[in-house]
Amino acid sequence: MTNQTPKIKERLLSGMRPTGLLHLGHFVGALENWLNFQDEFDCFFLISDYQALGDYPDRIELIRKAVYEVTLDWLAVGLDPQKCTFVVQSYVPEHAELHMLLSMITPLSEIKRNPTLKTEMKQFNLKQISLGFFNYPGSQVADILLPRAQIVPVGEDQLPHIELAKKIARKFNNTYKNIFPIPRAIIGRVPRLPGIDGNFKMSKSLDNAIYLSDDEKTVIKKVKKMYTDPKRIHANIPGTVEGNPVFIYHDAFNSNVEEVNYLKELYREGKVSDVEVKEKLSRALNQFLVLIRERRKKFERWPKLLREILYEGSKRERKLAKETIEIVKEAMGIIY
Ligand code: TRP
């Protein structure tokens, strides 16, 4: 026996905007990783309601509802508040304070050329974009640096924000004092899941998502409608597996690898119908979702518990947050 102190776990932060129900894309892009990490790291999972306000400044009722939907979905997939910390961004005002302070050393040009922001801005009417929305990559940097997180598991589209967080952390450390670890990103097993319409990304706004809370019948209906190889007007025409959403989903969610490989083989040879491949897929998806639905139902009955989880988690992060703000202000010389 050695009398070593127990290893201090590295800190991890990730987050989601509360804008609605979570879907399969969230699972393979993020949640699955989060689940694996909750034992290994000291995890903070953030519900970024302020960031969501940038998308929906006039729809607080949508955000309010989504805060609980996201919490339910997180619990449903198996995140355990005994092991990890759920945080509501607005419950910890230090998120906003650090955002303000870091914005003083964030070059405007860095925000302007952020590729993810650029894409999102094109989706909106440029004239309607608020300063708050424009500066959300900066707010995300503060989210990450506030608990001084070392690890940030995210989807591919979030990488530019993590790059910015690295730059700002380095700049702060060099300019004032070495306070922030340089965070590193971890990408999910399936960085981007296509929608059921074959569109490049599964997303609520594109109306092409299968939700973690969808019931069995809905899953079957959605899978039936799914986009596959458009050249295949007959089951005996050889089909393309690569890039075919039905097979991307099989690979992501069907635990019976042998079945998937066999189906691929038959599909390529024109020996299996799309209908059959889809039937097998809905079965696999519904199997995958059984436990998630069960847990969700259980937690739906305890709204009080959900509020408590969010409140207690935020309180825990806030302790760290206050500490960070104190040393940041001191390093910047904001003491009068
Ligand atoms: N932008 C993320 C999303 O839309 C949410 C988010 C907010 C986040 N703050 C974060 C992700 C910090 C990672 C780290 O889902």
Closest alpha carbon to 285 in 237, 310, 250: 250
- Detail the DSSP E strand segments found in 48-183: 85-88, 151-154
Q: Atom 3, ligand 1: which residue's CA is nearest?
A: 16
**Is the per-residue pLDDT at 316 higher than 60?**
yes
The secondary structure element, H or E, covering residue 98 is helix 94-103
Distance 321 CA to ligand 1 centre (A): 17
Q: Atom 13, ligand 1: which residue's CA is nearest?
A: 14
| Atom number of ligand 1 nearest to Cα 13 | 14
Handedness of CA 211, 216, 218, 219 (dihedral sign): positive
At 299 the three-state DSSP class reads helix
Distance 45 CA to ligand 1 centre (A): 9
**Is the per-residue pLDDT at 271 higher than 60?**
yes
Q: Atom 7, ligand 1: which residue's CA is nearest?
A: 15
pLDDT digits (tens, 9 = 90+) for 101-153: 999 999 999 999 999 999 988 887 767 889 999 999 999 999 999 999 999 99
| Atom number of ligand 1 nearest to Cα 154 | 13
Torsion angle, CA of 34/35/38/40, rounded to 10 degrees?
Answer: -90
* Chain centre to alpha carbon of residue 265: 33
pLDDT digits (tens, 9 = 90+) for 47-66: 999 999 988 888 899 999 99
| Atom number of ligand 1 nearest to Cα 155 | 15
Q: Atom 6, ligand 1: which residue's CA is nearest?
A: 15
- Ligand 1 near 14 CB (within 6 A): yes
| Atom number of ligand 1 nearest to Cα 51 | 7
pLDDT attached to residue 110: 97
Closest alpha carbon to 183 in 209, 154, 211, 218: 154
